[in-house]
Every structure is written in C-alpha cells, then in structure tokens.
C-alpha cells in the first residue's frame, strides 16, 4: 500500500541516534555534511516546485480573476472570440463526469476488491490482481483512441437506445444523439481508468481486516456475504472512502482521454448522451492558441479551479486515510 | 500411587517395590467428580472415526477415535502442538479455509457426516459454535455484538430479551446492562471473552466449542469463565481445549489427552472420565503428563 | 454407534436457504465485476494489438516521422524522443525523490517532515494538464516547445511516485541495522549509503521503472510544452522533441485510415513498452511488495 504505507506511522520519527564517542575524522564529517545537505536540497526542491506551481498558476490567472471575478464560476457562456468567459459548462462537465464515473467505478471496483481479497482462490487472485492493475497502466491517450474508435460508436448504437428505453424517465438518459462523442462516453472512459485504482486499494484494505474478526463472524453461522456486509465493510468504511476520493481526484484531472471523446462543446446538457466538455479538456484544447491575453488568463483561471479540485481531493483522502490507519493500528 | 496431604505424590506401584521418585505437583489435583462415568446412557453428539488431518503434505493428526456426549463438558488436554486445537476446529469445519487442509476418516454429528458434500457449512456453524482463544468482539456496540447473529438468522422478535438472556447466561449482564450501546472494545479482556460467549449462545446452538478461552486472561477472569462452563453444559454440549490441566480437572466431566505419537504426529492417547484419568491414568504417557513430568 | 438423527440434519434450516441464495448472488456479482475488468483489459489490449500489428515493420519503427501519407514514414524519431525525455525526467526525479525520502526518514523531525509529506501528496494530486501549464509558464513562454521543458514536466509527475515508494522501502529497513552501525561507530553517511540505501534499492528501482513507464505515456503535459517538433530525429533538448504519445494523439485526431493505422502501430509499441516495464518491475519485486505505484 504505497500511498498509505508512506504516511507517517511508526516510522515518522527518525531512529534515535546512539552517540558514539569515537571522534569522526575530517572526511567523515565532511561527507556527513554533504549528504545531509543534498537531502535537504532534495526536499527543498520539492517544496520549491510546489510553491512555484501555485505561484505561476495564480499569477497567470490573476488578470482574469480581476476582470471576471467569482462570477466566472457560474457564467454559462464561453466565447473567447467575443471575450465572454464563463466556466460553468466546464465545471458542470467535470463534476458530472467525475461523479458518474465515481459511482460506477466504486460499485465495480469495490466488488473487485472483495473478490480479490476474499472470494478468489489464492492462485487465481495472484493472476487477476496484476491484470486489474495493468488496466491502470494503459496510457490515457490509447484509452481515448479506443474511445473514439470503439467505445463511442458502441455507446451510440448499442447503449443509448436501451438505456433511454429503460431509464429514460431520468433526464440523464435522454434520447439518442447523433455521434458517439458525449459526456456519457467520457464517463465510461473515466470509469475504465478509475476502477483499477479503487480495486487495488480496496483489495489491500480488505486484506488488513484481522482474520480473527472474520473467523469470529463465520463461527456464528453467518454466510460469506453476511460476514462481508456485517464485519468487513463496516470495519473498512473510511479506508474505502479514502480510496474513492483518490479515484475521484483522478477522474477530475484526466485530460486526454476525455478530450478525445467528450465532444468539446461548451454546453451544459442534462442528457448525458449529448456532447459537453470538462475543465482539463478545454484547457488542453485551447491553451496553445489563445485569441487574446484575457483568453489565456481565463484558461489559467480554469487551471486554478482544477488545481483546487485536485489539491482538495488529495487532502481529503489523506485526512480520511490517516483516520483509518489510526484505527487499524 | 500415594498422595500426601501437601499434594506431593509418591510412585509406589512399580514392580520391584517403591522407587523413590518424588514428584511434587504445584497444586493438588482436585477430586471433584467421583462417581460413575457420566457418559453412561447419554446421547452421542460427536463420533470421530479414525480421523486424521493433513495440512498439505504434513500430517497433523492421526487415528482419532472418540465419542463426545451430550450436555457434558469434555476437555482436550495435552502439550502444545499436538493437534488439540486442530481437532476442535475440525468439529465445526473452521479448518476448511486453511489451505491444504484435508480430513481423513469421519466426524459424525448426531450420526450425520460433517464433511459430507451435502452438509452446509453455515448450518454446521450455526449449530456448533466456537469461542476463540483471543477475544474477538466486533467493533460494534455490546448490544449489536450479541444481536448480530440472531438478526442474520431472522430471530428479530424480542431481541432485547434475547440479548439480556445471553448476557445473563454469560454472567456479563450486570456489568454492562447500563451501557449496552457503548463499544464492545471498551470492555476488559475477561468481559470481552464473556461477550464472545454470550454472542455464541445468543443463537441457541447445540454445541459450544471453546479453544483455550481463558489462556489470554488473568486468573480472576479465568475463574469467571470456568464458573460459566458448569452452567452452560446444562443447556449445551461443551468441548474445551486447555493447556491447563488443573482447569480441565475443575470443569470437565470427561477428558481426552492428546500427545505426539509416532512420527511426531498428534494422536489421542487416552480418553475417559476426568477424575479417573487424573487419578489413575492407564497409559504411561498420560501419567507422565498429568504428574507434570513434561508439557 | 451413531444413527443419523433427523432432528440434527446438516442441511439448511430456517431461513438459511434464502440467505445462501443472497450470498451466492452477491458473490456472483463480485466475480462478474472481476471478469468484466479482465474482459475489458483483454478487449483493449487485443484491439491495440490487432490494429497495430499490421502497421509494424522495420521501416515503421525506424523511419522518420510521418506526414501520415508518406512512404518510409515511421515513428523512429518519436521512440528516440520519448526515450530521451523520459531518461532526463528520470535523472531529475529519481535523485530528488530518493534524497527527499532519505531526508524524511533519516533526518527530519516530524515538525518538518509532516509538511513535506503533505506537499508530496498534494503534488501527486495535481492534474497533469496543470503541470503542463505550469511548466509552460515557467519555461516555454517566449522560447517555444523544448525537450527540457518536457523532461521537467514529466519529472514533476514522476517525483511523488518515486518518493512514496522510496519512503515505503526505507521504512521497511529494520531499525536495528541502523542502530548496530551506530553502535559500531560507523559514521552516518556510510551507514546510509552502505547499509540503509542498499536494502531499499530494489523497491526504489522498481518504483522508478514503473514511474518511467507511466511518464512515457503521459500526453497532457507534452501537449502543452512539447507539441511543436520537426519530422526528424531530434536529440537536442533545446528544441521540441518528437514523442510517442503526442504522435498517437495527433494521428488519431487526423483521422484518415492511414493515419489511424500508424496511430495503432505507435500505440502498440507504447503499450508493449509499458506492459513490459510493468511485468519486469513486478518480477523484480517478487513476493515481498505487491505494488509500488499509485
């Protein structure tokens, strides 16, 4: 559990030094200083980089912040040529695709986590587990490309009609649209990318449940599912939530695959089968060819919003994971 | 064998006259249960027929033949590592999830083969409950710990009464009746173990298996657990594994002595009415163990 | 002799039949989810392989960058370019990551260590497009696409991954090793470089390989900082350097059948390299650590 294991726990305090009475010679003293200096330099570089990121994005965005204010967040029209900039279509697109794919990815990912940790025979689990993780290794540009060529048309011809027929009373599943590029296709693509994260993390989390608890539940004549529902899931709830928030952060920031399939339309359709856009995708599309300095600054304003989302996901996930680890320790 | 008032014993029944082999046991072996063998006339709950247990290639138990009787407390004693817990866990199929586990022979429960493919494992555990060595309460409230399994089983009526009865039977009610909704993890070790007992009997099983239930507890908590067993066996059949001989002598009606046989594989050495086993063991290995020569 | 007692049969009693059915359904759903994931993986990989293998040829792998219509066009420059960018990114990210992790485990009191860990976690959550925008503002404005900007951007993406894995590996080194070295009077730097670090090397190397594989596929930052490059091999990092992910992206957007086929070919190569790196890293790690990324 690289993410959770690297958190400060038992290892956060450096090992106490035993003071040796041997006098260090000059080389050793010098080398000690060089090493500690290098280490501090590394840490300083990290901090410097983070500070710089914040600085550059904020300062680049400030002309737009000054001109457009907070209304930017709710304005609905984005028309750079007319110098009208409103972020709402992209905030909407980002949130709705991220939330929808999070819901799907949580259902599927937690199920996979349960399967890998508790249901699969050990040998099968050692094969399927890495395969699920491989899914996370596929670069997003390829997933997006497959999205254009395969998933989009599939959604268009094979998913939209039946979903509309069955769930059409929910406005999200409106009538079929021409073309496969849509918010819904983007949701599917994001789900593919987030499922492996949640599956791998929840599998590790479920494996930390002490065996004595599950044995105790089994010894009370409970079925497998009752053990999972009554003991495993309640014990690991906050860890699972932390994993989901992490996945959510990933979905919020995904750029390329979404750019390729979402339709790049600055609109806010309720019908998910229509095209839309996300913050990341819009920045990627327009950043290199801004029509005006204000346009460029507005794009940086968008980047600032996205940065805020990403930072908040990381912080929230951290906080939840720390609480979970404290309780498991 | 002569027993002095201090509890020291002197072997005197060797051929060729008494040999001066003085063995001082630390506690006098109580002689509480004299009388006819309590097994006479009782229903057989478990019958082990030539039971053997393998974990992969390694054989852990061999040639176990014994019958366990209804409403008695049966103790399994012996040195550590000789398969007592393995045998106990085989009685409610808790070894099934251990990889490589394979049972040879038969374990009959009221005449039914426990390991018959048609036997339902969940049903087995519903009837044959278990309390473990280390108390393992769920991270829920005291009430929910006891109520969880009955709820699963659909026993939803009068849950408050059911919980109260279970906690009273486990001698825990008075201590927790005012804080049923507080977390079970806040209880002491002895209280947690009694909670686990309450949890197990709340679903009214047929048998309760106890795997060294007091070994993680202090002497006072241990005593309270031992007192319970006497009450519990009136309603349930009790099988208890213990490495404490004196405990077996105090609580059990019948005792089975396990030890390593040939090939370093655990096996049943001797089994019988408790006081007879301790006072006049038939097998020299049993005698060696109960007189404290090893283990 | 025991006769089967019908009142104690071991077949499901009471509501157990229904509960078993529910349990089996739920287990079936969980299994189905796992099967779905494996199926999706299979479909994706199969798609890339089937479509890409047709484009592969020696000329394709070595030829200079397309205009997608030309003969003799290929992704040779892109492969070299990605290799160079990722190499430089690793040369930046790995030392910084390891030194930072060493600082946190060996020197920093919690008061200083906690904020640094916070920064690392936050940096891991910065969307890659924002990283691209940042590097653009810092290095590309007025200068244009460059390879070193691409390397810096990728190093920012790689750094938190390497640092976290290094932290995990270093935390695994038993404290007794350090104490023993101290008690023997070995100086600090010798202990760290000679005892602590070597124990952690395997985990760090694995994580670096995985991070590099991830960086090789990152498109968003390159879209911003390294999108302008010529068709030929370019190793000078002061210029824009051809790279695989952007090649795939632009060919995919271009949309003609030939372009698409070449995009598949490039995708095949990229996927092959990434999966090979993942499998290689996994065998390196073996049983001890299960995962070194995320």
Mind listing the pLDDT tens digit for each residue in B23-82?
344 444 444 444 566 777 788 999 999 999 999 898 999 989 999 999 999 999 998 888
The two three-digit tokens of residue A148, written as one number: 């254009």
Question: Considering only alpha carbons, which residue of chain B is nearest residue A216?
Answer: B136
List the single residue in A220, A230, A234 with the smallest CB-CB distance to B199.
A220
Say if residues B271 and B87 touch (Cβ distance below 8 Å). Answer: no
- B71-84+123-290 classified as CATH 3.40.50.300: yes
**Beta partners for residue A55, in sequence order:** none
Question: Considering only alpha carbons, which residue of chain A is nearest residue B93?
Answer: A219
Q: Is residue C150 part of a domain?
A: yes
pLDDT band at A321 (very low <50, low <70, confident <90, very high): confident
When the pLDDT of each residue in chain A is averaged and rounded to a whole number, the result is 89
pLDDT band at B12 (very low <50, low <70, confident <90, very high): very low
Subunits in contact with chain A (3 or more CB pairs closer than 8 Å): B, C
Residues of A in contact with C23 (CB under 8 A): 223-226
Residues of C in contact with B47 (CB under 8 A): 2
Q: How far is B153 from chain C (nearest CA, A)?
A: 7
The total number of residues written for chain A in this structure: 329
Interface test with C, best of A139, A179, A222, A319 (most C CBs within 10 A): A139
pLDDT band at B132 (very low <50, low <70, confident <90, very high): very high
Who's near C274: CB < 8 A, 6+ residues apart? A137, A138, A139, C213, C214, C216, C217
Interface check for C157 against chain A (CB to CB < 8 A): the answer is: no
Q: How would you write the pLDDT of chain C (294 residues) with one tens digit per residue?
A: 557 887 888 888 888 999 999 999 999 999 999 999 999 999 999 999 998 888 887 777 777 665 555 555 778 888 889 999 999 999 999 999 999 999 999 888 989 999 999 999 999 999 999 999 999 999 988 888 888 999 999 999 999 999 999 999 999 888 888 888 888 888 888 888 888 888 889 889 999 999 999 999 999 999 999 888 777 778 888 888 889 999 899 888 887 888 888 889 899 999 999 999 988 888 877 644 445 443
A221/B126 touch (CB, cutoff 8 Å), yes or no: yes
Query: What pLDDT is attached to residue B294?
Result: 64
List the single residue in A215, A220, A231 with the smallest CB-CB distance to B200.
A220
Interface test with A, best of C43, C134, C263 (most A CBs within 10 A): C134
Dist CA C288 CA C290 (whole Å): 6
Domain boundaries, chain B: 1-30, 71-84+123-290
Of B30, C190, C171, B278, which Cα lies nearest the Cα of A31? C190
Subunits in contact with chain B (3 or more CB pairs closer than 8 Å): A, C
To the nearest 10 degrees (0 to 180), the angle between helices C128-135 and C147-172 is: 130
Q: Is residue A304 part of a domain?
A: yes
The two three-digit tokens of residue A231, written as one number: 């003991």
Q: How far is B81 from chain C (nearest CA, A)?
A: 29
Q: Give the count of domains, chain A.
A: 1
When the pLDDT of each residue in chain B is averaged and rounded to a whole number, the result is 85
Query: What pLDDT is attached to residue A329?
Result: 63
The two three-digit tokens of residue B55, written as one number: 């974990």
List the single residue in A137, A197, A201 with the smallest CB-CB distance to C274.
A137
Q: Is residue A13 part of a domain?
A: no
Read off the CATH number of the domain in which A209 is found: 1.10.3720.10
List the single residue in A213, A219, A221 with the smallest CB-CB distance to B138.
A213
How many CB pairs (< 8 A) connect A and B? 61
What DSSP character marks residue A14?
P
Residues of B in contact with A239 (CB under 8 A): none
Q: Is residue C219 part of a domain?
A: yes
Interface test with A, best of C12, C20, C30 (most A CBs within 10 A): C30
Dist CA A267 CA B46 (whole Å): 73
What DSSP character marks residue B165?
H
Q: How far is B198 from chain C (nearest CA, A)?
A: 22
Q: How far is B161 from chain C (nearest CA, A)?
A: 21
Mean per-residue pLDDT, A115-133: 92
Dist CA C208 CA C197 (whole Å): 15
Q: How far is C201 from chain A (nearest CA, A)?
A: 15
The two three-digit tokens of residue B45, written as one number: 């709950």
Read off the CATH number of the domain in which C238 is found: 1.10.3720.10
| Per-residue pLDDT tens digits for A160-208 | 888 888 888 888 888 888 878 899 999 999 999 999 999 999 999 999 9
Dist CA A196 CA C257 (whole Å): 32
The two three-digit tokens of residue A85, written as one number: 């900039």
B132/A212 touch (CB, cutoff 8 Å), yes or no: yes
pLDDT band at B14 (very low <50, low <70, confident <90, very high): very low
Interface test with A, best of B125, B146, B216 (most A CBs within 10 A): B125
Interface of B with A in 137-176 (CB under 8 A): 137-140, 148-149, 152-153
Q: Is residue A235 part of a domain?
A: yes
Of A58, A74, A86, A61, which Cα lies nearest the Cα of A293? A61
pLDDT band at B143 (very low <50, low <70, confident <90, very high): very high
Mean per-residue pLDDT, A220-249: 94
Q: Is residue A113 part of a domain?
A: yes
Dist CA B174 CA B172 (whole Å): 6
Residue A247: domain span: 70-328
Question: Considering only alpha carbons, which residue of chain C is nearest residue B48?
Answer: C2
Q: Is residue C24 part of a domain?
A: no
Q: How far is A328 from chain B (nearest CA, A)?
A: 11
| Per-residue pLDDT tens digits for B176-192 | 999 999 999 999 988 99
3-state helix, strand, coil in chain B (%, to 5): 35, 25, 40
Residues of A in contact with C43 (CB under 8 A): 150
Residues of B in CB contact (< 8 Å) with C are: 44, 47, 67, 108-112, 114, 116, 118-120, 122-124, 126-127, 152-154, 206
Residue C160: domain span: 79-243
List the single residue in A2, A8, A307 with the smallest CB-CB distance to C291.
A2
Dist CA A123 CA A109 (whole Å): 20
Supply the ipTM of this predicted assembly: 0.88
Interface check for A218 against chain B (CB to CB < 8 A): the answer is: yes
Residues of C in contact with A311 (CB under 8 A): 122, 125-126
Q: Which H/E stretch holds residue A139?
A: none
The two three-digit tokens of residue B14, written as one number: 């060797």
Nearest-5° Cα angle at A143, A140 to A148 = 125
Q: Is residue C282 part of a domain?
A: no
Interface of C with A in 69-128 (CB under 8 A): 95-100, 102-110, 113-114, 116-128
List the single residue in A212, A216, A221 with the smallest CB-CB distance to B122.
A221
Residue B214, pLDDT above cutoff 50: yes
List the single residue in C99, C104, C278 with the smallest CB-CB distance to A41.
C99
Location of structure tokens 């157990």: C16
The two three-digit tokens of residue B23, written as one number: 């063995």
Question: Considering only alpha carbons, which residue of chain C is nearest residue B43?
Answer: C2
CA B88 to chain CA mean position, Å: 7
List the single residue in C30, C37, C294 with the smallest CB-CB distance to A3.
C294
Lowest mean pLDDT among A63-67, A99-103, C73-77: C73-77
Dist CA B270 CA B281 (whole Å): 8
Query: What pLDDT is attached to residue A27?
Result: 80
Q: Is residue C144 part of a domain?
A: yes
Say if residues C207 and C94 touch (Cβ distance below 8 Å). Answer: no
Q: Is residue C180 part of a domain?
A: yes
The total number of residues written for chain C in this structure: 294
Q: Is residue C252 part of a domain?
A: no
Q: How far is B264 from chain C (nearest CA, A)?
A: 30
């Amino acid at each position: 559990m690289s993410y959770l294991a690297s958190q400060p726990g038992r290892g956060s305090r450096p090992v106490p030094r035993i003071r040796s009475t041997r006098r260090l010679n000059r080389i050793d003293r010098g080398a000690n200083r060089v090493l500690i200096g290098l280490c501090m330099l590394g840490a300083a570089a990290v901090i410097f980089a983070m500070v710089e990121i914040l600085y550059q994005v904020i300062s680049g965005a400030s002309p737009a912040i000054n001109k457009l204010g907070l209304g930017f967040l709710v304005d609905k029209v984005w028309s750079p040529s007319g110098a009208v900039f409103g972020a709402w279509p992209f905030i909407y697109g980002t949130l709705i695709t991220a939330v929808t794919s999070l819901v799907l990815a949580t259902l599927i990912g937690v199920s996979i986590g349960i399967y890998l940790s508790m249901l699969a025979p050990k040998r099968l689990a050692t094969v399927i587990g890495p395969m699920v993780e491989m899914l996370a290794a596929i670069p997003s540009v390829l997933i997006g490309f497959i999205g254009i060529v395969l998933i989009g048309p599939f959604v268009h011809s094979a998913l939209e009609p039946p979903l509309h027929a069955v769930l059409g009373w929910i406005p999200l599943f409106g009538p079929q649209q021409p073309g496969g590029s849509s918010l819904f296709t983007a949701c599917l693509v994001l789900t593919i990318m987030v499922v492996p994260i949640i599956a791998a993390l929840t599998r590790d989390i479920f494996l930390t449940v002490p065996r004595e608890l599950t044995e105790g539940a089994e010894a009370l004549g409970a079925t497998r599912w009752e053990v999972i529902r009554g003991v495993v899931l309640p014990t690991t709830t906050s860890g699972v939530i932390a994993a989901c928030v992490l996945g959510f952060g990933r979905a919020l920031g995904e750029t390329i695959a979404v750019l390729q399939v979402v339709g790049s339309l600055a609109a806010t359709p309720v019908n998910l089968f229509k095209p839309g856009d996300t913050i990341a995708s819009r920045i990627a599309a327009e950043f290199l060819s801004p029509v005006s300095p204000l346009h460029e600054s507005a794009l940086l304003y968008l980047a600032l919003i996205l940065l805020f989302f990403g930072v908040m996901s990381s912080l929230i996930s951290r906080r939840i994971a720390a609480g979970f680890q404290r309780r498991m320790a | 064998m002569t027993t002095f008032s201090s509890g020291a014993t002197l072997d005197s029944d060797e051929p060729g006259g008494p040999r001066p082999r003085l063995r001082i046991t630390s506690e006098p072996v109580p002689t509480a249960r004299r009388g006819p063998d309590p097994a006479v006339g009782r229903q057989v709950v478990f019958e082990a027929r030539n039971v053997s247990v393998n974990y992969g290639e390694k054989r852990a138990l061999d040639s176990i033949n014994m019958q366990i009787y209804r409403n008695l407390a049966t103790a399994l004693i012996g040195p550590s590592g000789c398969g007592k817990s393995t045998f106990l866990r085989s009685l409610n199929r808790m070894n099934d999830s251990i990889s490589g586990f394979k049972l040879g022979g038969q374990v009959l429960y009221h005449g039914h083969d426990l390991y018959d493919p048609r036997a339902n494992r969940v049903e087995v555990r519903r009837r044959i409950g278990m309390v473990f060595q280390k108390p393992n309460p769920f991270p829920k409230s005291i009430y929910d710990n006891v109520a969880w399994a009955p709820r699963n089983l659909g026993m939803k009526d009068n849950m408050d009464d059911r919980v109260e009865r279970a906690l009273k039977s486990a001698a825990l009610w008075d201590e927790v009746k005012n804080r049923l909704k507080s977390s079970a993890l806040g209880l002491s070790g002895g209280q947690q173990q009694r909670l686990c007992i309450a949890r197990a009997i709340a679903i009214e099983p047929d048998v309760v298996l106890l795997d060294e239930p007091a070994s993680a507890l202090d002497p006072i908590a241990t005593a309270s657990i031992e007192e319970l067993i006497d009450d519990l066996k009136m309603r349930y059949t009790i099988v208890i594994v213990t490495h404490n001989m004196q405990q077996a002598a105090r609580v059990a009606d019948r005792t089975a002595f396990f030890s390593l046989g040939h090939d370093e594989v655990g096996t049943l050495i001797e089994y019988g009415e408790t006081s007879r086993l301790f006072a006049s063991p038939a097998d020299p290995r049993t005698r060696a163990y109960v007189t404290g020569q090893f283990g | 002799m025991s006769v089967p007692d019908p009142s104690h049969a071991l077949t499901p009693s009471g509501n157990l039949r229904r509960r078993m059915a529910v349990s089996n359904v739920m287990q079936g759903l969980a299994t189905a989810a796992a099967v779905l994931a494996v199926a999706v993986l299979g479909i994706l990989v199969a798609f890339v392989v089937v479509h890409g293998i047709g484009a592969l040829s020696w000329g394709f792998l070595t030829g200079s960058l397309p205009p997608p219509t030309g003969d003799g066009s290929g992704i040779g420059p892109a492969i070299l370019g990605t290799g160079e960018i990722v190499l430089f990114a690793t040369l930046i990210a790995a030392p910084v990551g390891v030194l930072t992790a060493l600082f946190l485990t060996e020197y920093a009191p919690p008061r200083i260590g906690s904020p640094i860990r916070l920064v690392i976690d936050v940096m891991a959550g910065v969307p890659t497009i924002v990283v691209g925008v940042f590097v653009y503002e810092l290095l590309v404005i007025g200068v244009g696409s460059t390879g070193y900007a691409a390397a810096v951007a990728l190093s920012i993406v790689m750094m938190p991954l390497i640092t976290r894995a290094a932290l995990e590996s270093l935390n695994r080194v038993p404290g007794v090793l350090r104490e023993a070295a101290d008690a023997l009077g070995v100086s600090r730097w010798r202990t760290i470089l000679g005892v602590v670090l070597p124990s952690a090397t395997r985990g760090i190397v694995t994580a670096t390989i995985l991070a590099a594989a991830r960086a090789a596929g990152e498109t968003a930052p390159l879209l911003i900082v390294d999108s302008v490059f010529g068709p030929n091999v370019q190793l000078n990092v002061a210029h824009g350097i051809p790279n695989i992910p952007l090649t795939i992206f632009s060919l995919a957007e271009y949309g003609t059948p030939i372009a698409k086929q070449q995009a598949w070919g490039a995708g095949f190569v990229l996927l092959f390299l990434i999966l090979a790196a993942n499998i290689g890293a996994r065998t390196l790690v073996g049983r001890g650590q299960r995962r070194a990324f995320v």
